Amino acid sequence: MNNTLDTIMIFLVLTNLALLGLSRLGTCIRIVAVQGVVLGLVPLLMNNWHFEIRLAAFSAVLIVLKGIVFPRLLTKAMRDIKTLREIEPFIGYSSSIALGTALLIICMWLSSHLPLPVETISELTVPVAFFTIMSGLLLIISRKKAITQVLGYLVMENGIYTFGVTLVEHQPVLVELGILLDVFVAVFVMGITMFHINREFDHIDTDQLSNLKV
Partner 1 sequence: MIYALLLIPAIAAVLSLIIRKDLLRRLILILASVSHTVITVIAWNVETKSLMGGWIDLDKPGLLFLTITSILFSACSFYAFWYLAVESGKRKQDFEEGLFFTNEPEAIFCSCLMAFLATMTLVTVSQHLGLMWVALEATTLASAPLIYFHRHHRSLEATWKYLLICSVGIALALLGNFFMVIAASVPEVSDKSMILSSMIEQAKLLNVPWLKAAFLLFLVGYGTKMGLAPLHTWLPDAHSEAPSVVSALLSGALLNCAFLGILRSFQVCSAAGLGQFCRELLVLFGLLSMAWAAIFILGQSDYKRMLAYSSVEHIGILALGIGIGAGATFGAMLHAVNHSLTKAMLFMTAGNILAVYKTKNTKSVSGIMTVLPVTGILWIAGFLAITGMPPFGIFLSEFTIVKSMFEQGKAGIAILFLAVLALIFIGMANVFINMAHGKKSDSVNVSDRRESVISVFPPIALGFLTLITGLYIPPVLNNLLHDVAVIMGGNL
Partner 2 sequence: MIFLKILNTVLALITAPLLLGIINRTKAFFAGRNGQPLLQPYYDIWKLLNKGSVYSIATSRIFRIGPVVGFSVVLIAAAIVPFGGLPVLLDFQGDLILFAYLFGLSRFFTVLMAMDTASSFEGMGASREVTFSALTEPALLIGLAAIAKYTGYVSLAQIFSSINFDAWLNAAPAFILIGFAFLIVFLSENSRIPVDDPNTHLELTMIHEVMILDHSGPDLAIILYSAAMKMWLLGAILTGIVIPVHSDNVFLNVSAALLFMLLLAVLTGIIESSMARLRLLHVPQLLIGAATLSVLALILILR
Residue 42 contacts by C-beta under 8 Å, 6 or more apart in sequence?
5, 8, 162, 165, 166
Q: Which of residues 104-133 bind partner 1 (CB under 8 A)?
A: 113-118, 133
Whose Cβ is closer to partner 1: residue 98's or residue 188's? 188
**Residue 116 touches which of partner 2, partner 1, none (CB < 5 to 8 A by kind)?**
partner 1
Closest CA to 147 of 107, 89, 210, 101: 89
Site for partner 2, rule CB under 8 A: 3, 6-7, 10, 13-14, 17, 21, 93-94, 97-98, 100-101, 104-105, 108, 123-124
Closest separation in Å from C-beta 7 to partner 2: 6
Point out which span in 25-33, 46-54, 86-94, 155-163 binds partner 1 (CB under 8 A): 155-163
- Confirm or reject binding of residue 182 to partner 1 (CB under 8 A): yes
Q: Where are any strands of DSSP class E within 64-125? A: none
127 closest CA partner among 12, 2, 4, 1: 12
DSSP codes, 80-120? HHT--B--S-SS-HHHHHHHHHHHHHHHHHHHHTS--SS--
Find the shortest distance in angstroms from Cβ 94 to partner 1: 25
Q: Which is nearer to partner 2, 92 or 178 (CB)?
A: 92
3 state DSSP class of 122: coil
